[in-house]
Structure 1
């Protein structure tokens, strides 16, 4: 295997197509987020940072699978590690003088993705904070924690798994 500084081993393990598909997925999600918030003139996507976030995600998953002898990774783990690396790399970049509320745009983007996934698991509808006020509380807590608390990919995975269990028990 090549050195960890060279990501060639990831292409050999996962294929360039799979890695590019994951990059494209996140790039498109970011575009949707930017457009839906009307921020096209204020936010840009740093493609290089996004690329490194995706490669770092695959590197972590590769190591986890190798260490724990896993064939597949569960969805909470996938979302947690992707979210963690996107937050670390912060590919959403401010391009103009903007209000303070946009300073945490990467944190808000990831929270939107995570809450959207949670809602999809509940009832396949759009996010409706009126219908599920606890989701608004959760979203605010997640953003707060991303801004001011220490978090890891593992703690994000635990949170997502706990929410999944809560959904399953509530049915």
Structure 2
């Protein structure tokens, strides 16, 4: 899947050694596959692609944050919500989905923010055994998605806030 070997970078050698090349490759390929699925589902396949180099930087930044977090708190594993929160925050910052050519559509300008919302909502909706939204609540989900897009476009995308957002969404599903 990877056309060139991005895993032989000198700058993050210690991090790669700590985490392991296989774990890096697995996370990279998983996120790349998800990005390509999003591009297809969202109708961007003719105009957009996932830039491998930028996506690799997303993964490197994510693992660096996680390594620091684990070291600071003396923990070995992090919760899934943190995993998604840090990944999403770096996607919004680094913008791995790029366009092949110029586009006038506003929808296209914020493709990475749409990808971030896609990841966040999928994580929230895959909680437990609930894998769907009842039709009666579909409009509320659209409103929520629009609010997420606004946040990703115009607010500072902080992983701590995203983690709380994911946990809150999941909690809302439990008390419903």
TM-score > 0.5, shorter chain as reference: yes
Distance 1:115 1:143, change over 3 A: same
Residue 30 of structure 1 corresponds to which residue in structure 2? 35
Pairwise CA distance, 1:132: 3.5
Pairwise CA distance, 1:129: 6.3
**Residues 7-47 of structure 1, C-alpha deviations (whole Å, 9 max, x = no match):** 12222222110111110011001111111233222112111
Aligned partners of 1:129 and 1:136 also within 8 Å? no
Q: Pick from 10, 15, 18: which aligns with 1:10?
A: 15
Question: Is 1:84 matched up with 2:84?
Answer: no
Q: How many positions carry a matched residue from both structures?
A: 165
Aligned partners of 2:92 and 2:157 also within 8 Å? no
Question: Is 1:40 matched up with 2:45?
Answer: yes
Q: Quote the Cα distance in structure 2 between the aligned partners of 1:103 and 1:60.
A: 27
For normalisation by structure 2, the TM-score amounts to 0.86
Correspondences of 1:95-110 after superposition (within 5 Å) = 95-98=100-103, 99-110=105-116
Residue 165 of structure 1 corresponds to which residue in structure 2? 171
Residue 131 of structure 2 corresponds to which residue in structure 1? 124
Question: Is 1:20 matched up with 2:44?
Answer: no
Question: Is 1:156 matched up with 2:127?
Answer: no
Query: RMSD in angstroms over aligned alpha carbons?
Result: 1.8
Residue 6 of structure 2 corresponds to which residue in structure 1? none
Q: Quote the Cα distance in structure 2 between the aligned partners of 1:145 and 1:135.
A: 15
Q: Quote the Cα distance in structure 1 between the aligned partners of 2:131 and 2:169.
A: 16
Q: Give the secondary structure class of the aligned counterpart of 2:76.
A: coil
For normalisation by structure 1, the TM-score amounts to 0.88
Runs (5+) with no aligned partner, structure 1: none
Aligned partners of 1:41 and 1:96 also within 8 Å? no
Q: Give the secondary structure class of the aligned counterpart of 2:11.
A: coil
Question: Is 1:69 matched up with 2:71?
Answer: no
**Residues 67-113 of structure 1, C-alpha deviations (whole Å, 9 max, x = no match):** 01112100111000000111111010122232121100000011011
Q: Quote the Cα distance in structure 2 between the aligned partners of 1:50 and 1:129.
A: 35
Q: Give the secondary structure class of the aligned counterpart of 1:22.
A: helix
Aligned partners of 1:108 and 1:143 also within 8 Å? yes
Q: Give the secondary structure class of the aligned counterpart of 2:126.
A: helix
Runs (5+) with no aligned partner, structure 2: 1-9
